[in-house]
């Protein structure tokens, strides 16, 4: 590799690095470039000022992997048409079933898409890709023919925005607290819920289970809505950044026999704020 381009959605300014010959490379001499797109490093072919994405750098550079690779270039930008380019190096002897299986194993592709065989695909699962998509000449070059769409997905844009998300206030609040703590000091959020009406042990247990069963998706997410994955391949949990309370608090008025009912979330937040960072808010002795 003798070139490095900025993000595909940015300008076409080129920055050359990575090899001893890079210092002499120019936009006119570079043959391949590296592209950073949505935090994934890709290899692209550079020809006459045009960049054609090839596939993931990690897969291409891995000498221990097979030579017959399935590569995926995936764009996931907001408010623009995104490109998805899938490349396979051995279409002349890879079956449809093998292709689908390897595509599912492509982490970059699977992070955005789920792929399954259609009814047509099941019929052709043991056929070679070359047999299903007969090569044709396009502009003097051999290319695979287009496969007719198995189905069409459409939306009525006059009705509502066709966008669904599991996001919610609790997850956004937890992420805000997490980022604030990273940039400033220890931060913990408290969300107040409807006051509990059944004070029996079973009633408290039921309220706790109802809260526990809420599917809040408390994972760290990127701006595009994709979960951030840790070194173990698991979503980063941010649930520890918030607490939920479902009680009210009796607040005594100083130097008086009068007390009023206060907000439990505010009382809990005040108590937590008064504790040292290393001290847990549970299992503590009351000092009156």
Task: Please state the pTM of the whole predicted model.
Answer: 0.42
pLDDT grade, residue 30 (50/70/90)? low
Residue 150 pLDDT exceeds 80: no
Which residues contact residue 34 at a Cβ distance below 8 angstroms, ignoring those fewer than 6 apart?
1, 3, 4, 5, 18, 41, 42, 43, 44, 57
Predicted pLDDT at 213: 87
Which of 96-105, 238-247, 248-257 has the lowest average pLDDT? Answer: 248-257
Name the nearest CA neighbour of 131 among 101, 94, 97: 94
Say if residues 151 and 117 touch (Cβ distance below 8 Å): no
Which residues contact residue 162 at a Cβ distance below 8 angstroms, ignoring those fewer than 6 apart?
155
pLDDT grade, residue 238 (50/70/90)? very high
For residues 105 and 71, what is the distance between their CA atoms, to the nearest angstrom?
11
Residue 180 pLDDT exceeds 90: yes
Classify residue 249 as exposed, middle or buried by CB count within 10 Å of its CB (0-12, 13-18, 19+): middle
């Amino acid at each position: 590799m003798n070139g490095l381009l900025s993000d595909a959605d940015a300008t076409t300014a080129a920055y050359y690095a990575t090899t001893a010959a890079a210092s002499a490379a120019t936009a006119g001499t570079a043959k391949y470039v590296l592209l950073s797109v949505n935090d994934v490093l890709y290899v692209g072919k550079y020809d006459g000022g045009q960049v054609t994405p090839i596939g993931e750098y990690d897969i291409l550079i891995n000498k221990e992997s097979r030579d017959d690779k399935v590569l995926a270039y995936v764009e996931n930008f907001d408010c623009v048409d995104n490109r998805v380019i899938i490349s396979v190096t051995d279409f002349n002897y890879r079956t449809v079933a093998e292709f689908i299986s390897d595509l599912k194993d492509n982490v970059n592709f699977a992070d955005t898409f789920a792929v399954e065989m259609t009814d047509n695909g099941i019929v052709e699962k043991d056929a070679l890709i070359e047999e299903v998509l007969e090569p044709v000449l396009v502009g003097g070059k051999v290319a695979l023919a287009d496969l007719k769409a198995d189905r069409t997905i459409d939306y009525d844009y006059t009705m509502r925005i066709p966008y669904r998300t599991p996001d919610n206030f609790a997850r956004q609040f937890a992420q805000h607290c997490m980022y604030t703590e990273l940039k400033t000091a220890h931060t913990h959020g408290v969300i107040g819920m409807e006051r509990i009406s059944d004070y029996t042990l079973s009633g408290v247990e039921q309220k706790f289970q109802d809260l526990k069963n809420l599917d809040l998706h408390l994972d760290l997410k990127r701006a595009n809505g994709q979960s951030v994955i840790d070194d173990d391949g698991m979503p980063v949990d941010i649930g520890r950044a918030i607490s939920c309370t479902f009680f009210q608090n009796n607040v005594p008025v100083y130097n008086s026999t009068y007390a009023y009912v206060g907000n439990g979330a505010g009382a809990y937040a005040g108590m937590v704020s008064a504790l040292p960072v290393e001290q847990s808010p549970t299992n503590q002795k009351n000092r009156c």
